[in-house]
């Protein structure tokens, strides 16, 4: 029996199949949590937003357009919930984004896209990988939220330009220019956190 699509699962849940909703959660749990950890900066906040996301999916299921794909819709809900959380956090405390930017550029090693795709390391992963993951998160945390969000959607979740434009309700040209700025921003902050003593 072929696996049901996300859209079929949501429709089955609308019709009263509660197990279909559990299947949707389990199918997307790992990817969505990794995305939210990157976006919010910590596991606890990510788990809170994850719960809020699927609560919103439940509340909004009747307004879902079945001609669209479920996954971009779900990630848009998650990004909106994370944005709300981060705005509340900024209002509660001052965020330090003033760390010095180093000018060194490494010729070898992973690309920026490779760095963005690092999974949350399990406890038994080598220390080097955990350290690199921490540095990636520091670089992402220093980025403006609008750039952080679009970078994660494009490179981490691999949404197309058209999907991002549709889900964020911005023009396609804005997606491209903002993504270009996001990559440059990540590059700058990655150099700052990975080579803090490099000459400028």
Structural tokens at position 62: 């009747």
pLDDT at residue 129, as a whole number: 66
Spans of all domains in the chain: 1-94, 103-200
Whether the pLDDT of residue 122 is over 80: the answer is no
Torsion of CA 96, 128, 47, 179, to 10 degrees: 60
pLDDT at residue 87, as a whole number: 77
Mean pLDDT of 60-74: 89
Rounded to an integer, what distance in angstroms lies between the CA atom of residue 106 and that of residue 47? 34
Contact present, 80 and 169 (Cβ < 8 Å)? no
Report pTM: 0.61
Rounded to an integer, what distance in angstroms lies between the CA atom of residue 3 and that of residue 6? 9
Pick from 131-135, 167-171, 193-197: least confident? 193-197
pLDDT > 90 in the chain, percent: 22
CATH of 1-94 given 3.40.50.1820, 1.10.645.10, 1.10.10.10, 1.10.1740.10? 1.10.1740.10
Domains 1-94 and 103-200 share a fold: no
What fold characterizes domain 103-200? Arc Repressor Mutant, subunit A (1.10.10)
């Amino acid at each position: 029996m072929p696996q049901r699509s996300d859209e079929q699962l949501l429709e089955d849940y609308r019709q009263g199949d509660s197990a279909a909703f559990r299947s949707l959660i389990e199918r997307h749990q790992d990817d969505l949590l990794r995305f939210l950890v990157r976006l919010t900066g910590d596991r606890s906040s990510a788990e809170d937003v994850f719960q809020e996301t699927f609560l919103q999916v439940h509340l909004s299921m009747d307004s879902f357009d079945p001609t669209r794909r479920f996954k971009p819709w779900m990630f848009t809900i998650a990004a909106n919930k994370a944005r709300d959380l981060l705005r509340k956090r900024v209002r509660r405390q001052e965020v330090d984004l003033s760390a010095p930017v180093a000018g060194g550029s490494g010729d070898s090693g992973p690309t920026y896209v490779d760095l963005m795709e690092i999974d949350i390391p399990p406890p038994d992963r080598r220390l080097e990988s955990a350290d690199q993951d921490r540095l990636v998160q520091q670089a992402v945390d220093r980025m403006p939220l609008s750039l952080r969000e679009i970078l994660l959607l494009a490179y981490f979740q691999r949404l197309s330009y058209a999907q991002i434009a549709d889900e964020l309700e911005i023009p396609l040209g804005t997606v491209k220019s903002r993504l270009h700025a996001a990559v440059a921003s990540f590059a700058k902050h990655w150099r700052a956190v990975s080579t803090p003593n490099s000459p400028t």
